[in-house]
Every structure is written in structure tokens, then in C-alpha cells.
Amino acid sequence: MIRKIKNSNLDSQCLSEININIEDELDEFDFSKVVVRKPWGHEYLTYREEGVSIWILHIKKDGATSTHCHLDKRTDLLVLSGQVECSTLEEKHQLSEGDLIILNKKVFHSTKATSDNVLVMEIEFPSKKTDLVRLHDSYGREKEGYEKQKEMCFDLSEYQRVFLNGSDLNRMIGNMNLCIEKFEETKKLEDYIKTNNNILDIFITGEIIINGNESIISVGDTLKTEDFEQEDIQISKPIKVLSIKKNILDFD
């Protein structure tokens, strides 16, 4: 299941009533060397390049992120294991393993774990961790920005992290197998999308165009077979796709 949420009038109204003060001291910080402790669990960076960051959120049961939004970045949330409730100001969405919710910038949202062993992948476009405005928070952080270095763990021996390092590596995170695939030829990408059995393929970098210059798929969108039924589709820049497949265990 894929759901796309656009900014609403209520989002805009609430945002206009907040005294926004976004700090940028961590914009150049190397998050790959830390785990960020949160009152609801912890998170870590699993992949980053220009324009995109992918984070893994470990949310303990009944823990919930603040109700927050991002002014300049879009966020995709994919459930890797367990069940969560993703709330906007107007709706509540029950998500299970493999479900994806796409949140446009300036959409207030909160994610709550409704089961044990919850892992959520957060994909951010563009990559800017400090782009955070909190509206409500169960832990009293409404007026605070993103966590400071004192909330980060530099001794990583107590945490297990998984990194997405290239198309030659499949990584299991939660109950999903993940890898980054790279394509430079349109035909190879088209054949891949039409023949694989992934549950999702998310376009994360590069450019797909039609009629020579018109971009038809945005970064963060899922790629589907029907995207390639149009004529004159081309890859103008090498693209990368985050491929997601549900892990199936075989028992003899």
C-alpha cells in the first residue's frame, strides 16, 4: 500500500502560528559515525549522497515521534517490520510491513509503534536533518530543534547498524531485503522494473525524462511498469533505485 499526503490548509495554519527557529550547526555533521538517541528509541543513517538520506528508526512499542514537519524536504516512510500508526493533523494511517507513506514538505506528522520490533525506513529529499519544526511532543521537545551531539552515541558497540553500500550487496533490515541498483541505460531499467518481483522500487537519484527534456518521475517516487509505456523515455543522468523485497524464509 502506498499513500501520498499533501500539505493541507490546517498544516499551513498551524505552521503560521509557530515561532520557527531552525538551527543549522549540524548541517555538515557526519551522522554516519553516530546513533542518535531518542526518547522513543533511536535512529541511524544507513545511506547518504547528494540530495538524499536514508535513516533507520527503531521505535519501541507505544513510543511516538513528535508531531513535526519539514519546511524544505519531502519524507517517505516505509515500514520494515512491525506495525505503526502514522498520524497527520487530519487523519490516522495504520501501516504494516511493506507499506509506504509519502509526505510532502510542510505536512505535520507523527509515527507511533503499535507493536513490538518496529523498524521504519525514513527517506529524505533533500538531505537536511536539521529541517525540523515540532508542533506537539509527548516528551516536551516542542520548542527544540533536532537533537544535539550530547544526545548522540559515538560508542557504537551497543548498537547494530546496517549500511546500504552498493548494488552488489543485499541487506536485510527488519523483514525486508534492500539494495541500491544503478542504471545508465533506459532499456536495462525498463527490463528490471518489468521483470523483478520487488514490492517497491523507489527512485532516489538521477533523472528520467520524456520528449528530450521533460522530467516525468520525481525523486522519491516509486517506479511502476506503466511508467515505461510512454514513448521517448530516456535516462539523462545515471539513476539509482532503492529496491525493496520482502524477506521470505524457506523451511524444509
The whole-angstrom separation of Cα 187 and Cα 233 is 10
Structural domains of the chain sorted by starting position, each given as residue range(s) with its CATH number in brackets: 2-158 (2.60.120.10), 171-246 (no CATH)
Instruction: Write out the chain's pLDDT in tens, 252 residues.
Output: 888 999 999 999 999 988 887 777 777 888 989 999 999 999 999 999 878 999 999 999 999 999 999 999 999 999 999 999 999 999 999 999 989 999 999 999 999 999 999 999 999 988 888 899 999 999 988 888 888 888 899 988 888 888 887 655 678 888 888 888 888 888 888 888 888 878 888 888 887 777 666 666 778 888 888 777 766 777 777 888 899 988 755 433
pTM metric for this prediction: 0.89
Peptide bond into 126 cis (omega under 30): yes
Q: In b/e form, how buried is each residue of 51-65, taking b as 16+ CB within 10 angstroms?
A: ebbbbbbbbeeebbb
The whole-angstrom separation of Cα 170 and Cα 175 is 13
**Whether 148 contacts 31, CB under 8 Å:** no
Give the H or E element holding residue 29.
Answer: none
Report residue 248 as a C-alpha cell.
Answer: 521470505
